Amino acid sequence: MEIIDIHAHIYPRVAGITKGAPMVSMRHGKVKIGNQITQFLPPSFTEAASTPETLIAYMDWCGISKALLMPNPYYGYHNDYVLEAVRAYPDRLKGIALVDLLRGEEAARELERIYEDTELFGFKVETDSTFQCAPHKHMTDADLMPVWECCNRYRQPVFLHLFTDRDVEDLETLTRRFSQITYVICHMGADSCFQRGRNRGNFQRVLRLAKENSNVYLDTSTVPVYFQEEYPFPTSVKIIQEAYQAVGAEKLLWSSDYPGMLNHATMRELIDMVVRHSKIPQEDLRKIMGENAKKLWFSD
């Protein structure tokens, strides 16, 4: 069974902003957030950096053939670093682009340049980090439309980490308006579905989007973070089973959210959570674990 990871992070340093405070890499996996120091990664990540070489070593160790490098403003803007990795390891890695959605027309022009001049493709949106300094803004605001129009024109995939009830509503609007975009809902709906205080009905709305739209997919990563459980993460397994029953294997994409998930599980456990514990038939597991991703982005 070929395994392709569609959600892995690399960065030379942590340089994002969270809760209005800057994030700075320190030693042995620690990151300073404002005046507080947190164990952001396992201590073996000496400089709190995630290099492509270390990612590939983990991939080789766990039998993962290829990975999609997923940026996030939470870690900082590192398009150049991702591009270098893709060019250094073209048979193993592909990279997604990141621009500041709030810059609207300017961001759209930057995306167009990236699509025309580099190997990066797609676009990642993480609504919490994007809108934390502009909480009144939303993905469907008129001044942000040029970004979606660019992705639609170039038929690019967009990967979305949703946080709020409004984010789910906005995604429903975007799928109706921009049909040439392939939408990947990260973490099975993430905070908008599983964070305490969120509308539990949001998960059903996310499943409905994936079921009713041929261009909407779900990635399986990070769900164990939302529940206080140890491997084999029974609640997460039930959520994956529910999604499988609702939308079918063709709409699910295995992913790890490396390296942050190493604080919660090993890479092998993240694989086995689906392969060994979901009770999904082998033919469909092959689709979820790699065939779907290969068809979408790794067929060349």
- Please, what are the domains in the chain? 3-12+49-297 (3.20.20.140)
Structure tokens given for 258: 């490396």
CA quadruple 148, 152, 158, 163: dihedral sign = positive
User: What would the DSSP string read from start to end of 206-245?
Assistant: HHHHHHH-TTEEEE-TTGGGGS---TT-HHHHHHHHHHHH
Pairing of strands 3-8, 17-18: unpaired
pTM of the prediction?
0.97
What is the spatial distance between Cα 118 and Cα 203, in angstroms, rounded to a whole number?
Answer: 35
3 state DSSP class of 84: helix
pLDDT band at 218 (very low <50, low <70, confident <90, very high): very high
pLDDT digits over 106-148, tens only?
Answer: 999 999 999 999 999 999 999 998 998 888 999 999 999 999 9
pLDDT band at 197 (very low <50, low <70, confident <90, very high): confident
Mean pLDDT of 150-172: 98
Cβ burial of 176 (10 Å; 0-12, 13-18, 19+) is exposed
